Structure 1
């Protein structure tokens, strides 16, 4: 088939220091010993329209036959042909302090040769914590955000169809490990260590509660609990109020690309230097032109010189696309998106710009 489906979502994070939004300290940090634990289980997804595991996945019929035995039905696993069933591994993250009945999302990933989990429902699956204890169970309909159709040798796909989420599909039936009891000090660990951000956090805390916060390193801010807070309730309340204080975040200098879904996230601090990259039938060129502004005669003004960036992208069959103005990675991504460039080609182009020293950012591919 000559039909190609491309799904490229471009998310440009736009912010500036003067009008940047503020975030709570609790949203960009974690407390020690509060790392979520991962629970895992083996399950079955049913209700697939012929897109389930094929004959090569021998463990799927065995698991299905074992499930039927729980309902008093004896079947021969070797004789089962299950096109509407797929074996999956189910995972979730459970945070310390959660109690029985708490819910969270589940992620189901195909283990066999299923072509799509679209429209499927996960049967009740027991989830084990890292120590092998049953702590939760998951079930419910999957949401995959894509599709995968194949017929008569033709195939049309969108996004990654063999991994799906079950919103609120996990329920705890055992308490998670408790939160650590508060003491005379507590620590904020930055989720993304950054010395400048750590200083901002300490300054925000000290502005509200004078002299209680110190920066230990780019990842750690130590906060002392004032002596008037004695009981556990008072200390937890103080810790919560400190966590609700806000700071201005550091602008991101990352480009994150998800090849499975085609999602591209460009941080607002990403800049590009002059460069040219050729990839297949695409040529990307980033250049700078000096602009001189002369004052009017006898105006006592001064001559101003600045550099204007220009981006040009040429594709065989589509001609030349040029953009004047500040050269940013977001501009390049938008231009490539308008030409229908695939995520893989975008990744190669950004990697080329990074290797050439033009892309002044960290490139993260997930």
Structure 2
């Protein structure tokens, strides 16, 4: 029960902070200012016998040697236990320029046992349009560990077939951003809400002037912006630091059926309802008794079993919710009655089925 009270307390604290003013940059993102996914295929070499000998690895190895002017016969199948074929992927942030670096992740795509100790050879990272935007290379940092015994037993800690290379790729081409195009800047809300969009529109208009901002829908607010690059940057810097109060979240109750965690939103209210809570406890215990014979008899001591059955019925408790009951009243009633989280889940489901809860009940 104490754990449940703690969850409710955290919920109330988080809701209290969420009601405060927030900056525009914390609740939205500028349309067109986004990262782009890059992916490539390469080889990791220098592995201590934990590589692989698949066909595509051999083919890739031969192609690499051909690039250096070394030609192997087609019938030759090199034994390369220290090489692994890998997929390399990364995200290219907005406005990242040629010559700057980005982090990359390297993952084995074959039967390699581990990438620990390996080095990624030069790999081209391409975007969705097929163009190369970065070139990756470097030594891997692998957090996982794997060990295998002669009898086939194996121990794996984390994932040894995935590694990272901090600053492992050099950007070769910048991605064009629509930020400097057109006469508008559009803010896309992280949590779409019509009230939040309207409040953001009003906040910008109060600063810049009437009709400067327009809420397009629940997720987007379009704002007039200067075309000059330096002016637009300064203009956006001012707008993204404006503070306003987003709308409260929708009434919602989230129940985790596996852990028994229950989070009740601030705006959850109940219709008039009466709830009865009670329980029946049946306890069965086995007690062993020793049976002693009379002093002059030839009997033997024996052990007899005695069953003790105890039925305990808790007093049924009932409480009534009047119209417009809020979260504070609900928590107070729950604490007074002493309902366990498991019982509360059943009560919430019954209230939702009866139409006595105004919010959405989500069970995960």
- TM-score, with normalisation over the residues of structure 1? 0.59
Structure 2 Cα separation of the partners of residues 155 and 110 of structure 1:
19
Alignment of 1:167-186 (within 5 A): 167-186=166-185
SS at match of 2:197: helix
Runs of 5+ in structure 2 lacking a partner?
1-9, 267-276, 278-315, 320-330, 346-359
SS at match of 1:307: helix
Structure 1 Cα separation of the partners of residues 253 and 131 of structure 2:
39
The corresponding residue for 2:57 is: 60
| Alignment check: 8 A CA contact 1:106 1:167 kept | yes
SS at match of 1:175: coil
| Alignment check: 8 A CA contact 1:189 1:221 kept | yes
Name segments (4+ residues, structure 1) moved above 4 Å. Answer: 20-24, 246-255, 266-271, 289-292, 309-313, 359-363
Establish whether residue 32 from structure 1 lines up as the match of residue 20 from structure 2: no
Alignment of 1:320-335 (within 5 A): none
Post-superposition Cα deviations, 1:269-323, rounded to whole Å, max 9, x if no partner, equal 789xx9xxxxxxxxxxxxxx9799xxxxxxxxxxx9510376689xxxxxxxxxx
Structure 1 Cα separation of the partners of residues 180 and 194 of structure 2:
27
Alpha-carbon offset, residue 238 of structure 1: 0.4
Alpha-carbon offset, residue 188 of structure 1: 0.9
Runs of 5+ in structure 1 lacking a partner?
1-12, 256-263, 275-288, 293-303, 314-325, 328-358
The corresponding residue for 1:215 is: 215
Alignment of 1:41-190 (within 5 A): 41-53=40-52, 55=53, 57-75=54-72, 78-152=76-150, 153-190=152-189
The corresponding residue for 2:350 is: none
Structure 2 Cα separation of the partners of residues 204 and 362 of structure 1:
37
| Alignment check: 8 A CA contact 2:144 2:161 kept | no
Aligned residues: 273
The corresponding residue for 1:348 is: none
| Alignment check: 8 A CA contact 2:182 2:227 kept | no
Alpha-carbon offset, residue 243 of structure 1: 2.0
Structure 2 Cα separation of the partners of residues 171 and 28 of structure 1:
31
1:243–1:113 CA distance, 2 compared to 1 (3 A): same
Post-superposition Cα deviations, 1:158-177, rounded to whole Å, max 9, x if no partner, equal 33332333222121112322
| Alignment check: 8 A CA contact 1:30 1:190 kept | yes
Larger helix proportion of the pair = 2
Establish whether residue 306 from structure 1 lines up as the match of residue 305 from structure 2: no
Higher alpha-carbon Rg:
2
1:177–1:207 CA distance, 2 compared to 1 (3 A): same
